[in-house]
Structure formats: structure tokens, C-alpha cells
Chain A
């Protein structure tokens, strides 16, 4: 029951945020010079004024801006995201097609970053200021400082061109039609490099946070008590320290879910993946307002959901939070 009411309150609080975000993006895009017909003309390499007028009518751009915004919001109330001018299909269909690669990539690289960040963070904290700590921290810093497109391209050069172990791009093999487990394995093979590229950058952050938070918790009184009870070091870490040190990590996941959606434009482009990031980029260039607003809507929903799950996790990790709530 508590969870349901928490969920309800959360959802109610996020609706005004969503509406504000959508209106804001809509107005921001009006500031960009040119509309979707200009973008289409740029793509076609020319066209006459009469057909431009006909196209503007076709896309509903002959209306005033408040009327367009009003129409959009009214459609949204009826859960209709509108029609994409680039794709000629309902926006919801376009987004649903692009969502799986993005979610797969996001979940895979977040898990990768979280897991290895945790392991290496603990290792670094346990040997603080000794060589394993220095080594882990230095490597982490290098990953963090490297631009992701360069990482991606270098990974392609090494693993696809030189060693020829992995495909250089794409979501799945086009040549052979695969089904079942073989298709899953094929997609996994294609996602290996992009996941590593996206995950390595975030790995560095998780590693630093985990290390700092472990060091902090290790100095608290209850850890001294645990040691005084005669527990060995491994039991102290797994049973007492880890759980408390995890809280900031979980917070970070909530924050980064949003970053990852946006941050994957580069990785999706380099590895030619059909994800949301590239769709958003294309929508901006093509001034496809409906699609872009649809993506903002879906991304905002995803971030809200992830943060809700994070809140639930808090309560699970630290009983004091739900008791106090």
C-alpha cells in the first residue's frame, strides 16, 4: 500500500514537470531558424515556392505558433504523440521501433559500469594509497578523460579491422536471417563494442564514488564495533560496509539514466545503431517537432521511472529511510 501511494504521489508530482518540459522544448525549437519544410528543401537540393507552401499546409505549419502548441497539447491529453514528418508514421510507432536498441545499450552499459565500478572501487578502497589503488584510479581517470567517439573508433580499428573479431557496426547481421537464441547472440555480438565504449566512461565515475564512499563508511563507529566483535575483514566489508556504501552509487544510477539516453547519440552514430539518440539528433536537424517532443516525453518518462525505482531501492538498502518517511 505504501508503495502504491508513493508511486501515486510521485507520478502526480511529475506531470507538471513533464508539461513544462514539453512546452519549453516546443518554444525553444521555434527559436531555431527554419522549419521542417526548409530542412526538407535542404535535403532535396531545391524546390519551388508553390510546393513549399503546399508542404507547409500538409505539415500543419501554416497555423500560428500558439495554435500549433495548443493542438499538440490537446493531442497529448488524448495520448496521441502526433505524426512524424520525417518518417510519415505516428511518432509512437517510430519511437517504439527505436526504443529497444537504446534500452538494451543503456541497461548493458549501466550494469557493466555499475558492476565493475563497484568491484574496482572496493579493491581500491581496501588498498588505499598502495599500488593497486593508484593503478585503478589512474586507469579510471584515463577512461574518463577519453572522448567516447575516439574510444569507439579505436575499438573498431582494433577489434573489427585489425583482429576482425567483432562487427564494425549495425544492430544485427543483415545477410543471414536469424531466429531465437542465435539472433540474441548475434545482437549481443554487435552490442559488445558499443556497450564497452559507453560503459567505460561511466565506469570511471562509479569507481571514484565507490572508493570514496567505502573509505568514509570504513571510518564509522559501527565498523569499529564489528571489528571489535572479532569479525574478519571480509565479513566486515560484505556484511556491514558495502551495503551502506552503496547508497551514493544508487543515487548516481538515477541521475545517469538520463545522461545515458542523451549521451548515446555519439556511440549510436559511431556504431550505426538505430537508437533514440540518433533519432533525436535527426529530428532536430530535420525540425521534426512532433518526433522530438515525443522523444523528450518518452525520455522524461524513463528518467521518472528509473528515479522511482531508485527511491524504492533506497528503502530496501537503508530501512531508516522508509521508517522515517
Chain B
């Protein structure tokens, strides 16, 4: 059965790679001469509804894809991936790194007409980012206060040095501002504004019909002159991936973000002239596929066994045959798309080598017993994507060839997090590590010891390493960007040597969008950005 599935998927994947390659070369085609056209409705595929839509309270693409057009952040990333001001115009850090001053944009108003001021920044930072926002509460752990000497100045005061480049890389995602006057009374979590967001962005919230659609219309008073171009954005809730592909073809959808369609549908539509299928514009949402080891299993706490397992799996074969151009070989927890921190491939790697794997197992004392079995393992795959399911089957088949039978235990999202991160009821687990542009935001928690039990996507492996902990802590407060980069290179070397989690595959989300769209995919987090320059040709 395994073989049959492999054959079918391989064929799809081969088609996919050929097709994507053809389109990826020049997704923008020749748009330069066209004059932007005003008007039009842009229909967006929305796969999973969230419980609330305020990006100052929840950091996830499911929120940004909607409220990223309605609310705005202090900074965003430009086409080259450098921080560029949105609600902030300029920033500077004090020499000791404990004070960071933002000068805010003048003449910006909320959709309800009230002016945007530093009081909004102060309230959002202290009450939302520091207390509620996921990842934000860790980032702002040492934030003491935000001073507001005048309406256009917000001064962030930290207990420990905060590297400016870390904050600026985190803020595009974790820097969305909410209106103080709408939130200051009552429970923030239960505020009805959370489902009817009010912001300063190019689009104004109109209506949310749960289970059906969300509508936002052009904001005529937007602070950027002549923007936005679109009249309206409609997000349609479509949970079935195949149905979403059908709606793209029927012209009822113009955009499906973040690999929202099945691999085979994306491959099919990439050959259709009406659509563009590309990974461009998603570089800021890179992820790596993981293999997480539970050190509470005696066998897995032996470094030779972890390395042997890595050597036993032929990753390039898996990528070529199952994922095609949607993925590439990974070299560690910091993906190659991270230009500021990628340390190169010159760290310990574990290429496929079955003989070496066998030798390492033998050396560790796990020789094949009755029926050729060394020991058996339980593998828990996360349910987030087709690729994880395929990858877990591939791990199972690869390890069975070196005498380790693997039982795959599948769960839904809540069940997976509970069993792996709270109950530690796994031997191997596999899922995605989502890289959020700075290792201190998303990545070091996977390795730093002392994580509270139950915190998802953190070091729950039972692995402790004083050297790695020190590198992580030093990098967190290092102000010199060059030294920080060197520390993270050292960190990657350390964790690739010890291998508590193996991250051998790098992926970027895939965008499927109508060929009529212009100015799309032009920043590294385009799906989450505010689309003020997006327009549709006739």
C-alpha cells in the first residue's frame, strides 16, 4: 500500500515541479507600463475562521489575512525585507538598548474619525502585546513602560537591553495597534470590536457573517494619497480545499493564500494562464519540517541514536518525489530565507547514509533482535498539512528498513498539542517550526531549557544544555547586529550537533492568485500586509 501511494504522489509531484518552475521564473510578467486601475472586488479564500480578528491580541496568519488590511502595524517589511515605517515614521535606540523611541505618523485617524496618537501605542503595548498577544508576551517580557511625552512620540522602556533589529523584525507581526478609546473599558478579550475590527488601514470593516464571509470596503480617508485601489475585499469561508479550487476556476475567488489548496490543485492551476502560482511574497512565512525527539525514551537520549535516525532518512529523495519545488533541503532551525541570520550550511548535517546509521545503532548497543527489530517507536504527526502526513509515513518506512518499527498516532490539532507538549506522550513527533524573521521570536524557545510544561512549540523534549542556553540568552540582549548574527550561527552549530530537534526541510507557503492582480506578492509577508497598492487589471 505504501508503494502505491508513493507512486501516485510522485507523479503528481513531478507534474507540480515542472509546472511551478515555468511560472516561478517571472511571476510578475511585464506590468511596468500599465496604469493602476481603481475599483474592483477582490475575493479571498478564507480556510479557517478564528475566534477573534484583532492582530494586537492574536499573532497568526488567519488573523493577518483579514485584519492586516484594516489595522496597521508600527512597521512592516519592504520588498527587500528591510523594516519600513507604517504608523511609525522613524525610530532610534539609546546606546544601552534599554530605551527605544518611535516617532509616529501625523494626521492618521481611526476608521471612526478619532485621531491616532501615542496613547494608542502605549495602551496596545502594555495591555495587549505584553499581557495577551502570543509571542508578544515573550517579546515584551522586560518592557517596563511606554512613555508618551507628546501625541507623536512613544518611548519604550525596557528592563534589559532590547536589540533594535530584533524589535523591528518582530514588529511587522507583533506590532499591530488597536484604538485605546474602544478598548479601555471592560474585558479586552470579550470586546465586540474584536470581531468588528476598527483600525487606521486602507480598508474599513463592513460585515462579518460567521461561517460565510467578511467584507471590508475602501477607506476614503486613508493617509496614503490615492490608496487603496480596490473598492472592496470579500473573504469567503470555504473549508473544503477542493471546493476552493473549483471556486477559483469559476471566477468566484481571486486569491487563495498560504498553500490553501491541495498540492495537486496548485499544480493544475499553475498550468492555467488565468492564475499565478508562486512562493514569492511568502518568504517571511518560512517554515521547517521537524523531527522532535523525546529524551525520556532511553534510546533517544543517546546522541548516536538520534544521529543514526537522521542518517537513515533520505531527505532529498523525499523532497524530490513528494514536495517538488514547494520545498528544499533544510540545514537547521534558521531557514535560508532569513538573510540577516542564516548561518549557511557549514554546520553539522546528517546526509542519508544507511551504513553509517546501522553502525551508529550497533555502536549504541541497539543490535537487531528477534525478527531484525532494534526497538520500536511511536510517532505523532501534527495535522496541519499534507506534507507532514507524507513526511511521517516516509519516516516510518525509512526507519523500518533499519530495524525500527514505527507506529503512527494521528490526532487533531488540540489533541496533538496536548499529547506532545503537555503530556509528553510521544517518542517522535513531527510538525512545522514557523520561523518569524528573528530566531529570538520563534525559534530559540524550541531549544531553551526551562520552558513551562504544556507551552506548545517549545522545548518539551527533556533536553537541557547549559552551553546552548547561554548562547540563546546572550543573543537575546546583544545589541551589535554582527555579534548577534555570530551568536545565532554558534547556536545553530550547537543544536545541530546535539540534535534535540532535527529540521531537515525548508518550505515557503504557496500563493494562488488571479493573473489580473497587480502589485501582489511584492513584500516578504504580502498575504499579511495591508494591500494598499494592490489593483486588478481589466
Q: Tell me whether A38 and B417 are in contact (CB under 8 A).
A: yes
Chain A residue nearest to B243 (CB atoms) is A270
Q: Which residues of B from 198 to 248 have beta carbons under 8 Å from A?
A: 209-213, 215, 234, 236-240, 242-243, 246-247
Residues in B neighbouring A325, C-beta threshold 8 A: none
Binds A, one of B132-140, B308-316, B328-336, B489-497: B132-140
Q: Tell me whether B215 and A174 are in contact (CB under 8 A).
A: yes
Q: Tell me whether B414 and A287 are in contact (CB under 8 A).
A: yes
Residues in B neighbouring A160, C-beta threshold 8 A: 246, 250, 252
Chain B residue nearest to A274 (CB atoms) is B211
Given known pairs A169-B243, A272-B236, the reply for A46 and B456 (CB within 8 Å) is yes
Binds B, one of A81-89, A104-112, A127-135, A307-315: A81-89
Q: How many residues on A have C-beta within 8 angstroms of the other chain's C-beta atoms? A: 55
Alpha-carbon distance A98/B135, docked complex (angstroms)? 34
Given known pairs A33-B411, A274-B209, the reply for A44 and B236 (CB within 8 Å) is no
Q: Tell me whether A48 and B239 are in contact (CB under 8 A).
A: no
Residues in A neighbouring B246, C-beta threshold 8 A: 153, 156-157, 160-161, 168-169
Q: Tell me whether B212 and A271 are in contact (CB under 8 A).
A: no
Residues in B neighbouring A52, C-beta threshold 8 A: 454-455
B232 to chain A, nearest CB (A): 9
Q: Which residues of B from 374 to 422 have beta carbons under 8 Å from A?
A: 411-419, 422
* A24 contacts partner chain B, Cβ-Cβ < 8 Å: no
* A278 contacts partner chain B, Cβ-Cβ < 8 Å: yes
* A43 contacts partner chain B, Cβ-Cβ < 8 Å: yes
B512 to chain A, nearest CB (A): 15
* A234 contacts partner chain B, Cβ-Cβ < 8 Å: no
Chain A residue nearest to B58 (CB atoms) is A44
Q: Mark A270-294, 1 if CB is under 8 A from B, else 0.
A: 1110100011001011110000000
Given known pairs A43-B60, A160-B246, A269-B239, the reply for A85 and B51 (CB within 8 Å) is yes
Q: Mark B49-79, 1 if CB is under 8 A from A, else 0.
A: 1111000001111100000000000000000
Q: Tell me whether A46 and B457 are in contact (CB under 8 A).
A: yes
Given known pairs A174-B234, A269-B240, A271-B243, the reply for A47 and B210 (CB within 8 Å) is no
Given known pairs A46-B457, A174-B234, A274-B210, the reply for A156 and B250 (CB within 8 Å) is yes
* B114 contacts partner chain A, Cβ-Cβ < 8 Å: no
* B190 contacts partner chain A, Cβ-Cβ < 8 Å: yes
Alpha-carbon distance A34/B411, docked complex (angstroms)? 10
Q: Which residues of A from 26 to 69 have beta carbons under 8 Å from B?
A: 32-36, 38-52, 58
Alpha-carbon distance A262/B252, docked complex (angstroms)? 28
* A167 contacts partner chain B, Cβ-Cβ < 8 Å: yes
Q: Mark A92-104, 1 if CB is under 8 A from B, else 0.
A: 0010011000000
B536 to chain A, nearest CB (A): 15
Residues in A neighbouring B22, C-beta threshold 8 A: none
Residues in B neighbouring A35, C-beta threshold 8 A: 414, 418
10 closest A-B pairs by CB: A34-B414, A274-B211, A42-B413, A49-B452, A39-B414, A34-B418, A47-B134, A33-B415, A38-B414, A168-B250
Binding site for B on A (CB under 8 A): 32-36, 38-52, 58, 85-88, 94, 97-98, 149, 152-153, 156-157, 160-161, 164, 167-171, 174-175, 269-272, 274, 278-279, 282, 284-287
